[in-house]
Amino acid sequence: MGNLQISTPCSVARDVGSGLEFLHMNERNPPIGWLPPESVFMNQYDSISDIWSYGVLLWEIFSFGEVPYKTESKNEIEEHIRQSDLLPRPLYCPSAMFDIMLSTWTQTRETRPMISEVRSKLDEISADELPVGIIS
* Domain residue ranges of the chain, discontinuous segments joined by +: 11-129
Supply the pTM of this predicted model. 0.75
- pLDDT tens by residue, 80-104: 999 999 999 999 899 999 999 999 9
Which residues are within 8 A (CB) of 76 and not within 5 positions of it... i.e. 6 or more apart?
69
User: pLDDT confidence of 31, banded at 50, 70, 90?
Assistant: confident
- Domain 11-129 sits in CATH at 1.10.510.10
Burial 79-103 (b: 16+ CB within 10 A, else e): ebbeeeebbebbeebbeebbebbeb
Contact 53, 9 (CB under 8 A): yes
| More confident: 8 or 72 | 72
Burial of 13 (0-12, 13-18, 19+ CB in 10 A): exposed
| More confident: 106 or 4 | 106
Distance CA(55)–CA(36), nearest Å, equals 10
Could you give the C-alpha distances from 107 to 110, 113, 131, 135, in angstroms and in order? Answer: 9, 12, 29, 30
Q: What is the pLDDT of residue 134?
A: 61
Mean pLDDT (whole number) for 9-25: 43
- Residue 47, CB-side half-sphere exposure with 13 Å CA sphere: 5
Beta bridge partners of residue 23, listed in sequence order: 12
- pLDDT tens by residue, 108-123: 999 999 999 999 999 8
Calculated CA dihedral for residues 136, 63, 15, 19, nearest 10 degrees: -80
Amino acid, res. 28: R
Burial of 34 (0-12, 13-18, 19+ CB in 10 A): buried
